[in-house]
Structure 1
Amino acid sequence: MKPTIVLVGRPNVGKSTLFNRLTRSKDALVADLPGLTRDRHYGHGRVGEKPYLVVDTGGFEPVVDSGILFEMAKQTLQAVDEADAVVFLVDARVGVTPQDKLIAQKLRMSGRPVFLAVNKGEGANRAVVSAEFYELGLTAEPYVISSAHGDGVWDLIDAVLSEFPDAVADEVATDHPVFAVIGRPNVGKSTLVNAILGEERVIAFDQAGTTRDSIHIDFERDGKPYTIIDTAGVRRRGKVDEAIEKFSVIKSMQAVEAANVAVLVLDANQDIADQDATVAGFALEAGRALVVAINKWDAVTPERKEQIKKDIARKLYFLDFAKFHYISALKHKGIDELFGSIHQAYNAAMIKMPTPKITRVLQSALERQQPPRAGLIRPKMRYAHQGGVNPPIIVIHGNALHNIKDSYTRYLIQTFRKAFNLEGTPLRVQYKSSENPFEEKREQISAQPLRRAKLSNRIAKKEEKKQLKRKVKVSVKKNVKS
């Protein structure tokens, strides 16, 4: 399981800047304004030698008890509760503040490993800058970093990841399908799990945000083994905390990483929210097969059905490879068809494609449409083979392939998807350009005329100098005789 690292600190200390650097993206808004980030951002960490998940939180105001700052504080505390490690950011230019002391106290009480990052310390003496922050009473040594310039960031992440084993990447089981049920609170995830299992295996009731842990359930259907992950963990009503007003995106992300297929559950009574697109986009980025189930379809009017279909087409347009099912988990309507699509998506994600057929499909695509020229050069594709599964990866070899346009890549993806019937899974195409062994010789040959010209010039200059010396000697002799 990938560890989850949460970035915590008071407003305007550089959490979003550090998040963008760790994820090598620009997903989090960055500006010199306190309180710009209000909700949590999630991403894959790409700095460091181990894979991990990173969470950006809003400015932590631990003493407020109402308003938007209070809601932001609740979100931060929930993220800390679900974290494997916490990076506490402070500002080197401002120094220790009373708010930093309160946050440090909250983090010590959480029981999570806390790493202190003294940000905005570029160009300063690290020992002098970090000395003041020892009074926060954290066990870890302060790390002086610069989120904007990257100074010290690698050392910080190496220290955080050293607490976790080397094999932190999820090993998805390939001997039988593993699928995760994900979605917003109260959309019917647990009800759908029970409908698929055919029994009341997990508790389901009409209250949102009551569960956070993931449950792995092994079962058999038609004599075949499966594993289902219910991202809505089960708790009794008395254990529910009012602060948990949103479903845990972190748990959904981890469940997606641990599964072959993700089943995104939507509520036909609710509008398609940004969170739905966020989780779907994460599944797409992780390369997992995806099936979308629009639940409670029997409880909406025909006008609402048309509206929800338009919203799906507009907000989830990037899921054109996925199948959409309109079901009622409570009444067990559409469950068989949904499960059939789950199995089909798993088979597509784990497909083994023979190299000769891949190459023939590529040649057929080239006959219909050649890649566009890049200047005077047209990329040349020679052959292709499969480079991985879940998601299927097709590796294409040739020359000058770095000039391939995204539009042509999409054309190839659609061609391969149709040829191999890859429904329900994303497909990735990678290019590997071969080096031309004759290129160096060609450069040497092309350089020979220039070398000859330079040599001729040097010989001519030497000959001129010799002739000049002879003339000088002759003139000197004449002067002496006269």
Structure 2
Amino acid sequence: MADLAAEQEADSGPLPVVAVVGRPNVGKSTLVNRIIGRREAVVEDVPGVTRDRVTYEATWRGRRFTVVDTGGWDPEATGMAQRIAEQAQVAVELADVILFVTDVTVGITDADEAVARVLRRAGKPVVLAANKVDDQRAELEAGALWALGIGTPHPVSALHGRSSGDLLDLILDALPEAPEQRFGPERGPRRIALVGKPNVGKSSLLNKLAGEERALVDPMAGTTRDPVDELVELGGKTWRFIDTAGIRRRDRELQGADFYASLRTRAALERSEVAVVLIDASDPLTEQDLRIISLVVETGRCVVVAFNKWDLVDEDRRYYLEKEIDRQLVRIPWALRVNISAKTGRHVDRLVPAIERALDSWATRVPTSRLNAFLTELIQATPPPVRGGKQPKILFATQASVEPPKFVLFTSGFLEDTYRRFIERRLREEFGFAGSPVEISMKIREKRFAKKRG
């Protein structure tokens, strides 16, 4: 047992970090997708698509490590580009190994040389990737990158996968020892997705929770493109917060990187357990806000609605907001609500208790005997409505699963939607489920016709 405990403790240690850096549009995100073995990082043939530093877990030859994709790094940049460059600089400081990506089809640029100077001063192991080497001729051109003075250039084609395995071998050789890949029932930090329409303050909230500028914040909507994961210590626990791109009105209206960013947001929601839906409390609720909440409910995730920018809400706005909530959120009165200001930090500490309460509800299991005793009393007081001249009966009920709670009613006939919603409402009154969706389905008993014996 001691050996197993030691093994589990070793496995829970931090993974070594590889920071992927380089000037804009050299193929960093394409190479990241090649390393992690899936299309996760948003890729488009224009510079500046990746803006934050985004982390992914990768495995090669049984060893695990963290890959950090960064925005295009131009040390001479100004404005938004400068802030992207600052994120890349932070990634270098935190990394164990730096993967410096260059474009052999362009050759060495002033920006490449400036990045190389910074990397030489950093004193970290650097693997130089000469990207876009699609044939033998381009491989010869990669030799010119020796002039950067940071070691051997390694030809690779991120797009076609050429020599990517060799590059990964070099990265592993440079990395410190990492725990081997293990599979088991152990649950890591609980996963919280920050979702909402563009510019409601998701990245500001992540930065406030993390205590540092982890995600880029800008008045321009759409700053976040990739989901950004961050481990945050709150209330004595470690949580994995996922900052996502703003969900826009309709996917078919999106183009290029915004379309793929929307898909990444939906995938981030699928791998989360709780969705904190941020809504701008200073503005009227929109159809977009309601559609995002519906999307979260459809995926079966816990819901905490965070009304952000509460510092901008006066008495009149609070009155009208309550009216909007009563009218437009009538179908999800069970969603937990917190009023916060990501900018000032007001009441941000109320998020964790709400998240914990939602997770407890999500995992609640009602014993079958107690469930059926409750339903018997309920049906006696309020029987199902008659349908087609017959009154359906609920013969038996069971809870099929948790996370989210799913109940199955075995019936003699079809139960109207209104009656199933009534059962759900009374279930919540009796057993809680605050912040968690509840699914109720039916199994209708097939009629059996006995053969009459002569």
Q: TM-score, normalised by structure 2?
A: 0.53
Moved more, 257-266 or 381-390: 381-390
What are the Cα deviations for residues 395-431 of structure 1, in whole angstroms up to 9, with x where unaligned? 122322xx21111101110111122111011111111
The residue that corresponds to 2:240 in the other structure is 227
Count residues with an aligned counterpart: 267
Q: Is structure 2 residue 199 aligned with structure 1 residue 186?
A: yes
On the 8 A contact 1:287/1:426 being kept in 2, the answer is yes
Partners in 2 of 1:245 and 1:254 — Cα distance?
A: 14
**CA displacement at 1:288 relative to structure 2:** 1.3
The within-5 A match list for 1:33-112 is none
* 1:363 and 2:373 matched: no
Give the SS at the match of 1:319.
coil
What secondary structure is seen at the aligned counterpart in 1 of 2:331?
helix
Does 1:195 find its partner at 2:208?
yes
In the alignment, is the contact (CA less than 8 A) between 2:235 and 2:352 conserved in 1?
no
Per-residue Cα deviation, 1:325-367 (whole angstroms, up to 9, x for no partner)? 2211111111122221111111111222222222222112112
| Partner of residue 438 from structure 2, selected from 403, 427, 432 | 427
Which of 382, 387, 412 aligns to 2:400? It is: 387
Instruction: Give the 3 Å change call, closer, same or farther, for CA 2–314 of structure 1 in structure 2.
Output: farther
**Among 284, 295, 298, which residue is 2:308 paired with?**
295
Asked whether the equivalents of residues 182 and 262 of structure 1 are also in contact (C-alpha less than 8 Å), the reply is yes
Q: Give the match for residue 39 of structure 1.
A: none
Distance in 1, matches of 2:430 and 2:346, equals 32
1:177 equivalent in structure 2: 190
Q: 1:252·1:279 contact (CA, 8 Å) conserved in 2?
A: no
> Which residue matches 1:306?
319
Partner of 2:341: helix, strand, or coil? coil
2-structure distance, mates of 1:2, 1:293: 32
Q: Distance in 2 between matches of 1:187 and 1:283?
A: 17
Contact 1:253 1:279 in 2 (8 A): no
Q: How many angstroms does 1:371 deviate by?
A: 0.9
Q: Is the 8 A contact 2:225 2:258 kept in 1?
A: no
Q: Which has the higher contact order (CA 8 A, sep 6+)?
A: 2
Separation of aligned partners in 2, 1:222 and 1:280: 26
311, 332, 346: which one pairs with 1:319?
332
**SS of match in other structure, 1:294:** strand
Would you say the 8 A contact 1:211–1:247 is kept in 2? no
Q: Which residue identity lines up with residue 203 of structure 1 in the other structure? A: L
Structure with bigger gyration radius: 1
TM-score of the pair, normalised by structure 1: 0.51
1:455-470 residue pairs with structure 2 within 5 A? none
Question: How many percent of aligned residue pairs carry the same amino acid?
Answer: 32
Residues 417, 228 of structure 1: CA spacing in aligned structure 2 closer, same or farther, 3 A cutoff?
same
Q: What amino acid is the match of 2:339?
A: Y
2:329 and 2:259 mapped to 1: Cα distance?
Answer: 21
Whether the 8 Å CA contact 2:216–2:223 is kept in 1: the answer is no
Match of 2:385 among 361, 372, 387: 372
The runs of 5 or more residues in structure 2 that have no matched partner are 1-36, 41-184, 247-254
Pick one of 272, 283, 291 that aligns with 2:296: 283
| Aligned counterpart, 1:254 | 267
Distance 1:384 1:339, change over 3 A: same
SS at match of 1:305: helix
Aligned-partner residue type, residue 330 of structure 1 = K
Q: Which runs of 5+ in 1 are unaligned?
A: 5-171, 234-241, 453-482
Amino acid at match of 2:340: I
Paired with 2:377 and 2:294, the residues of 1 have a C-alpha distance of 31
C-alpha distance 3-204 of structure 1, shift in aligned 2 (>3 A)? closer
- Mapped to 2, the partners of 1:2 and 1:217 lie a distance apart of 20
